[in-house]
């Protein structure tokens, strides 16, 4: 039976050129996570279904169920890395030191309708601090975002900050019931994409928040508040929301984060207060943040997170404060490609050709010597017997350098070192080839 080599609908591969760039990105991200004192955690892709759904029979997320024939235990594929973190925090509570700072990088699965650029399996890359009640922890997360973006080579990005407590104050100020807050937040969240006209329509619509004229005007005033000076914005807000203790607290939190970011050396131009940032998820309780690329705004936020003090305690009897960020690796990768930051794919190794049997052992020893200098290298292993054919392969593979040793070279103890980038060639004593290649690659 002939089977088609097809991917399942909504899934994708990353071939070597792309996978190498992603691998490099992950390396830099992990380095920043480690520098900031986050340690890795590994949990399985498959969990008990009830752990993922919280036992909710009406659980809305599209879970992939999984199992073996005749298996009684109900399993499903994780849809994020936060619920597994909550499970870990509860399961190992006695041996775990809190604050617990972990990062986790792994695949998650969501059965959403496949669309262009949206997949049913993707990589998540999260850093969270569990058991840290103060806003200093939130500032550390924003600092981490700044450092990760820098490490990835981005020089033009903007971290947008808000506080959910401030948004809750909005309900009091604009005079609508708090239970309408989710609809209002969802509408406000679209200000960037749709503009005030559309947002207003959605806020007024009967199928939405169904707000009256007074509330709509109050929300507009709120969204139009002074934005050029962060301290001034917060002072204005405190006045506007004088009736809400919660909003006062939210503004004070943002002021404290502002001071901490300054002390941490995060330049002012890389972050801003943005009162339209709500983040879709209902579980945020304090500071929320997202990161956009002015040159690629349509990608949406490439790194987002916030404080979520209710979620981590879901398996226990006590509430546990937590804050964290999720790096949107796929979006960042897309951004790097569209901004030509993804590298030239030329990180393939030196290719030692292998067309003359009398030279094979000399070539192998040289191969080892090149690798010992830390330079990636390979020997041609295909079926092509001619120098020309092997050279064509090295070119197609984007190898920067080819080394040629045949019978003639063996006699003279010389190798031809060919710079495939500059189409240059030089005869070099075989023993000196590794050092010569190191110099060549630094040019």
Residue 120 in contact with a copy of itself, rule: CB under 8 A = yes
Q: Which positions from 16 through 75 interact with a copy of itself, judged by CB under 8 A? A: 16-17, 19-20, 22-23, 30, 34-37, 39-48, 50-51, 54-56, 62-69, 71, 73, 75
Nearer to a copy of itself, 17 or 419 (CB): 17
Select the residue interacting with a copy of itself from 80, 136, 300, 410 (CB under 8 A).
136
- Min separation Cβ 96 and a copy of itself, Å: 8
- Min separation Cβ 337 and a copy of itself, Å: 15
- Checking DSSP bridges between strand 121-130 and strand 100-109, what pairing results, if any? antiparallel
Q: Which positions from 69 through 108 interact with a copy of itself, judged by CB under 8 A? A: 69, 71, 73, 75, 77, 86-88, 90-92, 97-99, 101-102, 107
Query: What is the C-alpha separation between 110 and 299, in angstroms, rounded?
Result: 19
Alpha helix (H) residue ranges in 380-432? 387-396, 407-412
# residues near a copy of itself by CB under 8 A? 112
User: Any long-range contacts for 216-219 (C-beta under 8 Å, 24+ apart)?
Assistant: 218/173, 218/174, 218/175, 219/170, 219/174, 219/184, 219/188
Alpha helix (H) residue ranges in 244-386? 245-263, 329-338, 360-372
Phi, psi of 181 (to 5 degrees): -55, -45
Query: What is the C-alpha separation between 258 and 143, in angstroms, rounded?
Result: 11
Beta carbons of 283 and 322 less than 8 angstroms apart: no
Nearer to a copy of itself, 181 or 257 (CB): 257
Query: What is the C-alpha separation between 312 and 320, in angstroms, rounded?
Result: 6
Q: Classify residue 360 as left (phi > 0), alpha (psi -120 to 50) or beta.
A: alpha
Q: What angle do the packed helices 164-174 and 213-223 form, to 10 degrees?
A: 140
Nearer to a copy of itself, 265 or 294 (CB): 265
Nearer to a copy of itself, 169 or 286 (CB): 286
Select the residue interacting with a copy of itself from 28, 59, 80, 133 (CB under 8 A).
133
Query: What is the C-alpha separation between 140 and 2, in angstroms, rounded?
Result: 55
- Min separation Cβ 420 and a copy of itself, Å: 14
Nearer to a copy of itself, 46 or 204 (CB): 46
- Min separation Cβ 86 and a copy of itself, Å: 8
Q: Which positions from 154 through 213 interact with a copy of itself, judged by CB under 8 A? A: none
- Min separation Cβ 443 and a copy of itself, Å: 21
Phi, psi of 67 (to 5 degrees): -175, 175
Binding map of a copy of itself across residues 286-325, x = CB under 8 A, - = no contact:
----------------------------xxx---------
DSSP state of 8: P
Q: Which pair of structure tokens corresponds to residue 7? A: 């991917």
Q: Which positions from 234 through 263 interact with a copy of itself, judged by CB under 8 A? A: 259-260, 262-263
Q: Which positions from 337 through 396 interact with a copy of itself, judged by CB under 8 A? A: 348-349, 354, 360-362, 364-365, 367-368, 371, 374-383, 393, 396
Nearer to a copy of itself, 30 or 249 (CB): 30
């Amino acid at each position: 039976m002939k089977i088609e080599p097809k991917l399942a609908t909504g899934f994708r591969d990353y071939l070597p050129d792309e996978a190498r760039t992603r691998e490099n990105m992950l390396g830099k991200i992990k380095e920043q996570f480690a520098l900031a004192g986050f340690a890795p955690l590994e949990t399985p892709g498959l969990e008990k279904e009830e752990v993922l759904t919280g036992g909710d029979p009406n659980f809305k997320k599209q879970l992939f169920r999984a199992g073996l024939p005749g298996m009684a235990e109900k399993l499903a594929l994780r849809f994020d890395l936060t619920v597994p973190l909550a499970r870990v925090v509860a399961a190992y509570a006695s041996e775990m030191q809190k604050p617990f700072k972990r990062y986790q990088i792994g695949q998650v699965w969501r059965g959403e309708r496949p669309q262009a650029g949206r997949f049913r399996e993707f990589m998540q890359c999260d850093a969270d601090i569990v058991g840290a009640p103060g806003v200093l922890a939130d500032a550390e997360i924003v600092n981490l975002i700044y450092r990760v973006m820098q490490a990835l080579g981005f020089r033009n990005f903007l971290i947008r900050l808000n506080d959910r407590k401030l948004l809750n104050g909005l309900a009091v100020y604009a005079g609508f019931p708090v239970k309408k807050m989710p609809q209002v937040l969802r509408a406000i969240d679209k200000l960037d994409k749709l503009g005030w006209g559309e947002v207003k329509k959605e806020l007024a619509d009967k199928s939405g928040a169904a707000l009256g004229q007074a509330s709509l005007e109050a929300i507009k005033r709120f969204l139009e508040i002074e934005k050029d000076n962060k301290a001034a914005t917060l002072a204005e807000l405190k006045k506007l929301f004088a009736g809400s203790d919660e909003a006062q607290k939210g503004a004070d939190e943002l002021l404290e984060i502002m001071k901490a970011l300054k002390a941490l050396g995060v330049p002012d131009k890389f972050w801003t207060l943005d009162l339209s940032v709500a983040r879709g998820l209902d579980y945020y309780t304090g500071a929320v943040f997202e990161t956009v690329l002015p040159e690629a705004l349509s990608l949406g936020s490439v790194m987002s997170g916030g404080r979520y003090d209710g979620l981590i305690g879901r398996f226990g009897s006590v509430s546990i404060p937590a804050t964290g960020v999720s790096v949107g690796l796929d979006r960042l990768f897309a951004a790097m490609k569209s901004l030509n930051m993804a590298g030239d794919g030329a990180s393939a190794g030196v290719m030692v050709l292998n067309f003359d049997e009398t030279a094979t052992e000399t070539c192998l020893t040289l191969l080892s010597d090149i690798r010992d200098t830390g330079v990636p290298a390979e020997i041609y292993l295909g079926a092509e017997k001619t120098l020309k054919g092997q050279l064509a392969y090295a070119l197609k593979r984007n190898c920067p350098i080819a080394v040629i040793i045949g019978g003639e070279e063996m006699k003279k103890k010389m190798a031809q070192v060919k710079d495939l980038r500059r189409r240059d060639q030089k005869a070099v004593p075989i023993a000196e080839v590794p050092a010569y290649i190191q110099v060549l690659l630094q040019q």
